[in-house]
Amino acid sequence: MNTILKERDACGVGIIANLANDASHKVVEKALTALGCMEHRGGCSADDDSGDGAGIMVQVPWKILEAWASAEGKEFDQHKTGLAQVFLPNDEAAAAASKKVMEQVLEGEGFRLVGWRVVPVNLDVVGKFAKATQPIIEQAIVESTTNLKEDELERALYMVRKLIEAKGKTDLDSKFSQDFYICSMSSRTIVYKGMLRSVVVGQFYLDLKDTAFESAFAIYHRRFSTNTTPKWPLAQPMRILGHNGEINTLQGNLNWAASREANMTHPVWNGRESELRPITDDAVSDSANLDRVAELLVRSDTGIDETMLMLVPEAYRNHPTLEERYPAVKDFYDYYAGMQEAWDGPALIVFTDGRTVGARLDRNGLRPARYWRTTDGFLYVASEVGVFDDVLSDASNVEYKGRLGPGMCVTAKLGSNTFRTHGAVCRGVAEAKPYKKWLEAVNKHMPAEPLGECQLSAQDALKMQAAYGYSGEDVELVIQGMATGGIEPTYCMGDDTALPVLASSSHMLYDYFKQRFAQVTNPAIDPLREGLVMSLDVHLGARGNILMPGPDSLPKMVLSSPVLLDNDLNAITSNEALQAVTLPTRFVAGGKSGALKAALEELCTAAAEAVEKGAQVLVLSDRCDGLNAESPAIPAMLAVGAVHHHLIQCGLRMNASIVSDNATTFSTHHLACLVGYGASAVCPHLALESVRQFHSAPRTQTLMKNGKLPPLDMEDMQQNFAAALNKGLKKILSKMGISLLSSYSGAQIFEIYGLGQEVVETAFKGSVSRIGGLTLDELAAETESFWKNGFPEQDMKKLDNFGFYSVRPGLEYHSNNGDLSKLLHKAIGLGGKASDPEAFEAYAKYLEEAPVTTLRDMLQYKSDRKPVALEEVESIETILNRFCTGGMSLGAISRECHETIAVAMNRIGGKSNSGEGGEDVLRFSQVQDVDNEGRSQSFAHLNGLKNGDIAFSSIKQVASGRFGVTPFFLMNANQLEIKVSQGAKPGEGGQLPGKKVSPYIASLRASKPGVPLISPPPHHDIYSIEDLAQLIYDLHQINPVAKVSVKLVGEAGIGTVASGVAKAGADIIQVSGHDGGTGASPISSIKHAGGPWEMGLVETHQTLNDNGLRERVVLRADGGFKSGRDVMMAALMGADEYGFGTVAMIATGCIMARICHTNNCPVGVASQREELRARMPGTPSDVVNFFVDVAMEVRSTLAELGYKSMDEIIGRSDLLEQSDKALSKTSALDLGFLVGYTPVESTSTERREQATHTNGPVLDEEILAMDSVQAAIKDEGVVDITIPIVNTDRAFGGRIAGVIANSYGNSSFAGSLNINLEGSAGQSFGVWTCGGMKLRLYGEANDYVGKGMAGGEIAILPPKDCPIPASDAVIVGNTCLYGATGGRLLANGRAGERFAVRNSLAEAVVEGAGDHCCEYMTGGCIVVLGKVGRNVGAGMTGGLGYFLDEAGTFLDRVNGEIVRSKRIESAVGEKQLRDLIELHVDRTGSAKGQEILNKWDEMLPKFWQVVPPSEAGSPEVIGNETQPAEIAIAA
């Protein structure tokens, strides 16, 4: 797993193919041109010259080889010859040894080495870092001596390569063996690649310039890797495919591939399958492993089309078109869903077997992919349009244009003169085998009815709950909450309790595991609004040989969910075909060493024996008729993980499924842990009994009768509980960007904090555990500490509370508590009084003497110097300007609190953060009307003001919701923060309850008062490293002075993510901890996601430094900071700046009531209720006093350590050591990871003072330099410009918008800049456009058109000579109008996925759109004059949509959870629609629009109006007719 975490990438890819299979040098030239235009989608190492990787795959250049053979006096028969492109170690002896390995294997496998050809290269174009590891590159020409040809020859060459790889590992020195790599070995294809920039590939490989080098196709690839150490073999294309994306399920895929090896046989291998193993390798990248699996399938006679559909399946459920037109395709996917877990994650894959080329997009459509065919017989596929700069010159030659939507593919068989689109490809594969018939043997289990009565007495149930570790809070807050509401409970304020390994209280095993989550390299997905791509289906039973599919290969039963009710479990255990065996999971109590280990060994042995005897389901059960003090249960997660890995080692894992029947599962996190470590299904029997006990309790019955609880029967409550588990599980999957439970099962997507290697190797092999911790004996002791609670001396009346959630005196310690608040309030003189130094000392002492809560509490200083005088240490002011406050949004907290913090931070020279939610423009100017009592009429709600104060937030946050993000907002910032993750809920979007969306908050967010606001998960324009790079570029484009920061959350692998972020152009990287505060979040997210900032910061600092990137960025840390000691710890671990969140709120008067999400904060800090806000006691001086006290503590500590400045100690982790504080659970905690010293060349001050990273020369600057433009902006005049544009001109308009907005705001510019452009616009065309800008593009555009536009107009027209009807052609890419707050977009063509996502006020007309149109829209108006994809209106809470439905299929495509679809009945609505279409025709000349206007009376009834509840009473919706309009609610 550690290796996997270091190998992440995203890229730009494409295909050029001559459909007639006519080879030419033109294909190679065009591929290199296209590759050069993808440079911005790739990355470079710290030298800015060594590319992360680039290359092309082409046909074997026989003319080149024949010329070489002729010159060398050699001969070969092309039909039985293969060519190997080989990277050899750059050590002569090692290279010779590597060649010898190859030659020995070739001879033994019936091949003649014709000769070695040195590949001519130009070393001058290779970057410094890449040159250091550059291999010797040669080609081996090999001829079959047994007359093998075609597929047999390809198969033999594959076997040879696998044997060479295996022999190389054993025969070569390990120092060189990893540098011996065969890029390709085929009779059809060859790969030229390296750690090169795009434009350098053709310059480096001189072969590619030779006009004799011909190919009928080329696959090209540019890599952006977050692993910056140059590795030539990881450049792409691979041997079968090029992959732009991230496989989120990789660990699970690797585990299952290893499990599957024993069963994978095929006659073509003549019994030699074992020589092909291992199939995968965790030392290489996700792309390389996917390529390895695909290659095995293809060489085993599985077609390339079938292979890609099987490995990367589309979301075929809830797909009306597929079910209606291609039912056989659904059967194909159903069949392989039980055979092969998906390689899930964002992916655009281009592939070939040498005869067919194709492209495949992931099920979510999270990569851009456009394709087109020309009249001269070429097919093109590309991540971007415009890579040939011929959209205008070649317009008449284009006869078909399309895009790959979610899960779609396109293929072409070379020589066929045609290509196949998605439907034809899928139908051809699906109809080749009788999948429907094969599925008849599968039992599709229907969920059983819950039990209708309690199975235990109330007293026995209490004892059972106590023995298994339940607390009163677990039952009341979690279990009962889920049973009554059907959803996981929401909580607030983050997790301020100790990590379980540090705590003195006992914890369940699950608590030692933190969920990993997607950030930057791969996107989280949206289970709430895009749930149609997700599935919790479970297959139970043995899985057969995937190389030879048939009717007997499938698991025998399918479940719709992994959550089993009692009767579901009975159905499984009684199914004869499954031959289920139940294995008890118990160990012997008493503290005897080795007892738990012995029980696990016995369990694993029994499991293997049962499978060998035919059991296809193993039920690991801790049920018992009655509690036995001598026989506690093995923790369910430990039992599942141990059996799972044991069966893998025995080669039996594919023969049986594991079901966990346990008492300890009651939360979504518990369920995810069990599934993630191998359980197919879980029966939470005690939690279900707890629900039944709750329902039967007299108090519950009374509450239902009184209307305090919903009137539910016992069965309903159990169904609700199961539904809540399923919903929560989907959210956990989605945080990692995983759609299918089958891909999450066994994927082990967790990080362990506090378990030692013995435990990890026994049950959780491959998981990351970096700080050591409990042994099996210590784990047994912790389990027994719960177990004994089930045997009280007297009858129990209720369960104990542990205080894990709420602060309870004498129970689990919470670092934020009432006592701390009181001490701090006294220290700072809350209410505008003077600070009290003695009180602050008492506050600091309270923190020092508090129980161990964080990893840094286990560290202590060890100085190498004598103390210095305090006067010699740098000033408080220079320390204060390193302080920041966290991104607390206005909405989550009150206006009073938000502005008080901002004023204070500006006074001390620090930085406050706007959070997600915009900012009032009144705050951008200084306050000059303050009276003697510190009051201002312009800020009448604040106390303690001074003239000259300013309430603006220095840091403006740009988060996934884009609330309040306008050009003027962005221009009024010193820093712009991209929130990728939030500490309290990483991988999720924000949520603001409707009661906190006051009219004022709604006005700032361009939303509707009272309507809840849920931000999308961070994926819409930061779903890959290159897309994050684009957003950074967009922000630098509008405000070239403001530094851009990226907020990440600590987890294993953050260092490699941060490396990518640094290369993407970020100025600042913020590392947050899991313990960050929040206004509202699911409770399992607060408790169980993310890691400590200490781990994340150290890894980030060290990885950046190791790769020469540390000097590029400032590092900021935050999460639970309260004191100068926290600042010092972060500084010594590498942080340059320090963020304070919750404690800053406490300094304004927060008393930690922990009811932020209810809008009832008693002191007005976190409420939007005016009467409560008036109670807020804090003033700016209170916050200033706190930070001054902290800075004084830092200054004193510096003096004690003998250092005079922060610069001297930042990164000096060698001044830390692990303390000898005793922990109650283990003595094996190892914090060596945190104290390893990494010297850095630059100083912190140098990093903080370096200039903002620049976008370089941009087209906007050329326009702004024109005298006519300058005059028009200055005098609000009119100017017309015509200028060409190409795809490398990205974020066009952003810089111009910034200049205008800086002077006139978002919409007050009275002039008009009319800019006409010709060509293919790069990403983010028209970004941040503001009033007075009119952009008219003749050509086409890529993703993110109109992102964040606040005004003006964008019109996009196809080239005049294009023969394709505009309404049939894609003209703009994905995610257009994201976060738009005004303006108009008129596109004479179709748009891609997620059109108008989070649009607030913009209006638009397009002629078709992909999936998820109008998603999360809160305002504006969208008109679509053609077909749309699925999931229209998901999460749409404002605005209107008009959709032309000529085919009568629209309603099946609407997400009716919120919106309703109705015909247009209002004259106002009709006028709105007609006016927009008329404008569209006027601006774009749309033929479709004109046709609609000409037939208005005929066409109007074919439009649907999509209406969210907030618009139901608007004039556009309500007509004057007496007859009700036709209304339909989409299913």
The phi and psi torsions of 461 (rounded to 5 degrees) equal -65, -45
Query: Three-state secondary structure along 896-939?
Result: HHHHHHHHHHHHHCCECECCCCCCCHHHHCCCCCECCCCCECCC
Task: Give 130-165 as a DSSP string.
Answer: HHHTPPEEEEEEEEETT---HHHHHHHHHHHHHHHH
Environment class of residue 495 by beta-carbon count within 10 Å: exposed (0-12), middle (13-18) or buried (19+)? buried
C-alpha neighbours within 13 Å on the C-beta side of residue 88: 23
Cα 1352 versus chain centre, distance: 33
As a whole number of angstroms, the distance between CA 1291 and CA 1302 comes to: 18
Vertex 999 angle, CA 998 and 1002, to 5°? 85
Angle between helices 1180-1201 and 837-849 (to 10 degrees): 60
As a whole number of angstroms, the distance between CA 297 and CA 293 comes to: 6
Q: Which two tokens stand for residue 1238?
A: 């990494």
For tokens 């600590």, what's the residue? 1050
DSSP state of 447: P
Q: Please list, in sequence order, all residues whose beta carbon lies within 8 angstroms of the beta carbon of residue 1257, skipping any fewer than 6 positions away.
A: none
Secondary structure element (H or E) that encloses residue 633, with its range: none
The phi and psi torsions of 14 (rounded to 5 degrees) equal -175, 170
Nearest CA-CA partner of 532 in 1391, 1416, 1453 = 1453
Q: Sign of the CA dihedral 111, 116, 120, 126?
A: positive
Task: Give 249-267 as a DSSP string.
Answer: THHHHHHHHHHHGGG---G
CB 1176 within 8 A of CB 899: no
Alpha-carbon torsion, ordered 1209, 1214, 1216, 1219, to 10 deg: -170
CB 227 within 8 A of CB 7: yes
Q: How many CB atoms lie within 10 A of CB 1266?
A: 13
**Dihedral-angle region of residue 564 (phi above 0 means left; psi in -120 to 50 means alpha; beta otherwise):** beta
Task: Give 1408-1447 as a DSSP string.
Answer: ---TTTTTT-EEEEEEE-S---S-BTTT--EEEEEEE-SS
Q: Is 11 a catalytic residue?
A: yes
As a whole number of angstroms, the distance between CA 59 and CA 22 comes to: 11
Q: Which two tokens stand for residue 344?
A: 């899930």
Cα 94 versus chain centre, distance: 41
CB 704 within 8 A of CB 710: yes
Give the pairing of strands 1527-1528 and 1460-1463: antiparallel
Environment class of residue 755 by beta-carbon count within 10 Å: exposed (0-12), middle (13-18) or buried (19+)? buried
Angle between helices 150-171 and 92-108 (to 10 degrees): 130
The phi and psi torsions of 1393 (rounded to 5 degrees) equal -75, 155
DSSP state of 556: S
Catalytic residue numbers read 11
